[in-house]
Amino acid sequence: MNPVTAYRFITANEFAVVGASTDRSKYGNRVLRWYQANSLPVIPVNHKESAVESIPAIASIDKLKDPSKSAISIITPPKVTLQVLKQAKELGIEKIWLQPGAEDKDVMDYAREAGLDIIAGGPCILVQGPSLMTHRSASL
């Protein structure tokens, strides 16, 4: 993981969890709760649920208030991830963290070809996040 990309990610104004789940045992829920526990402004993205962890959900990232200033954590199967990345590119979202399992060769090839500076292939935000919060506090 590129530390500069990770530090830029954590300084976003708003965070979205694509693949947020109502099932507390799933990573899509655990990641959402991590943002909540750290008092970060977070929005669940789930096209089937109206709310996750008592937070109103949006169906897709194009419903974000200001996508270009948002950061997204993606916790979806690679085929879904690829579509989310294409939409993120169109919306100007530059802060993207693919949580482990969301990527495959096609996803990584697209990200490279599209010039996306993503976080992938490394630890999830549940592992790396605590050290990034120190940087966020220092930069605010």
pLDDT digits (tens, 9 = 90+) for 71-87: 999 999 999 999 999 99
Does residue 139 surpass a pLDDT of 60? no
Domain that holds residue 68: 3-139
**Maximum Cα interatomic distance, the chain, rounded to a whole number of Å:** 38
Average pLDDT over residues 48-68: 96
Q: Directed axis angle between helix 105-114 and helix 78-91, to 10°?
A: 10
* Predicted model pTM: 0.93
| Residue in the block written with tokens 């750290």 | 38
Q: Which pair of structure tokens corresponds to residue 15?
A: 């965070």
**What's the total number of domains in the chain?**
1
Report the range of poorest mean pLDDT among 6-10, 17-21, 34-38, 39-43.
Answer: 6-10
Distance, in Å, from the CA atom of 114 to the CA atom of 92, rounded to the nearest integer, reads 12
Is the Cβ–Cβ distance between 62 and 6 less than 8 Å? no
Q: Which two tokens stand for residue 140?
A: 């605010």
Which tens digit of pLDDT belongs to each residue from 90-105? 999 999 999 999 999 9
Q: Above pLDDT 90, what percent of the chain?
A: 78
Domain CATH code at residue 121: 3.40.50.720
CA dihedral 48, 96, 3, 66 (to 10 degrees): -100
Tell me what pLDDT residue 128 has: 87
pLDDT for the residue numbered 37: 95
